[in-house]
Amino acid sequence: MPIYEYKCKKCDAQFDALQRIGEDGSNLNCPDCGEQHPEKLLSVFASSDNEGSLGGSCSADSGFT
């Protein structure tokens, strides 16, 4: 199950939630203030390139043009 990041619309707290794919977070409450229906955030992710370093790049050096 993936971990999704959420942000409370009331108190701006950010938290993670382990959820099944396709769940929309409508059953979540903010752990700080209890507000319902937090906003799902776009998460960054780590990947490795052929040299083994973390991160990614879309530069010409990384093979993307």
Q: Considering the entire predicted model, what is its pTM?
A: 0.63
- 3-state SS assignment for residue 16: strand
Closest CA to 39 of 30, 48, 31, 52: 30
Q: What is the pLDDT of residue 2?
A: 86
| Residue 57: exposure state from Cβ atoms within 10 A (0-12, 13-18, ≥19) | exposed
Confidence of residue 42 (pLDDT cuts 50, 70, 90): confident
- What average pLDDT score do residues 38-62 get? 67
Token code pair at residue 25: 């977070």
Taking only the tens place, the pLDDT of each residue in 11-28 is 999 999 998 888 888 899
**Residues in the chain, total:** 65
